[in-house]
Amino acid sequence: MLSSQQLLDAAGRRRSPASTPGFRAGIPPRNKGQRYPADPPSVDEIVAVMRQAGQTRQGHRLIALTVALWRAGLRINEALSQIESDLDQRRGSVLVRHGKNNRRREVGMDAWGWSALAPWLADRVELPVGPLFCVICGPTRGRVWSASSARIGLHDLAGRAGVRRRFAPHQLRHAHAVELLHEGIPLPLIQRQLGHSNLSSTGTYLQGIDTVEIISTVHARRAPMMHASAGLAL
């Protein structure tokens, strides 16, 4: 049971229950156990969402987050824990200090991704020192941007852009994996880029390849090469 003092903040105002220790302790999240199919958005859909963001500081932040998830394949919590010094544009590398199971790794990002990130990096230097993706306005200005707020921002932006496919941070990471495979990147390298401990985990990300593409690719295979003296007659 919380005392009356614990229900008030430093200014004597009533605190939100969500700010009290143990709020919702033991209550599972509403989406716990839900499984979503690997259905990554297309390049056209992602670019349409980025264009919808606009050229405001808030828009630049959403574009930059999309870039980190899509072009570097980061998890949402990995992206939001970034600081400015984790980026090395000269080498084209992004340092992930606290990946899954607190594993540290470096990943690559392409030149187009760095150019799309530039407007937010220019905005970020005018804000208090702190996480790369930070709160822009209000008393918490410069502090880390929450994952829930980032997800809502991407979801709303996709709706305004007319993208009816589910547009979530992990879907952008799926898109990254599928595009790397299309570009002929070996599976072990994709595994390292994504920070998977097992290659089987990487395989689940590649389930987003369209069935039509699989059928057309296999259908277009060359005939089997055989010696001229060989035949199929029994």
Higher pLDDT: 226 or 164? It is: 164
Query: Which of 35-44, 165-174, 217-226 is predicted most confidently?
Result: 165-174
Nearest-angstrom CA–CA distance, 193 and 187: 10
* ∠ Cα 181 187 192 (to 5°): 110
pLDDT computed for residue 189 by the predictor: 87
Nearest-angstrom CA–CA distance, 229 and 35: 53
What's the average model confidence in pLDDT over 18-33? 58
Please state the φ and ψ torsions of residue 208, each to the nearest 5 degrees. Answer: -75, 0
- Count of CB atoms situated within 10 Å of the CB of 86: 16
| Tens-place pLDDT, residues 83-126 | 999 999 999 999 998 888 888 999 999 999 999 999 999 999 99
pLDDT computed for residue 13 by the predictor: 67
What's the chain's average pLDDT?
81
Reported pTM: 0.74
| Tens-place pLDDT, residues 53-73 | 999 999 999 999 999 999 999
Of 20-34, 103-117, 150-164, the one with minimum mean pLDDT is 20-34
Identify which of 156, 201, 170 has the alpha carbon closest to the alpha carbon of residue 31.
170
Q: What is the separation of C-alpha 1 from the centre of its chain, rounded to a whole number of angstroms?
A: 39
Q: Is the pLDDT of residue 29 over 60?
A: no
Q: Is the pLDDT of residue 183 over 70?
A: yes
Nearest-angstrom CA–CA distance, 81 and 83: 7
Contact 150, 143 (CB under 8 A): no
Nearest-angstrom CA–CA distance, 100 and 151: 19
What's the average model confidence in pLDDT over 28-41? 64
Q: Count Cβ atoms within 10 A of the Cβ of residue 179 and give its class: 0-12 exposed, 13-18 middle, 19 or more buried.
A: middle
H helix runs in 19-146, sequence order = 43-52, 57-70, 76-80, 111-124
pLDDT computed for residue 9 by the predictor: 56
Homologous superfamily of the 43-165 domain (CATH):
Intergrase catalytic core (1.10.443.10)
User: In angstroms, what CA-CA distances link 18 with 15, 22, 24, 30, 144?
Assistant: 8, 9, 8, 16, 18
Nearest-angstrom CA–CA distance, 17 and 30: 18
Nearest-angstrom CA–CA distance, 50 and 189: 27
Higher pLDDT: 167 or 7? It is: 167
- So where are the chain's domains? 43-165
User: With bands split at pLDDT 50, 70 and 90, how would you rate the model's confidence at 38?
Assistant: low
What's the average model confidence in pLDDT over 131-140? 93
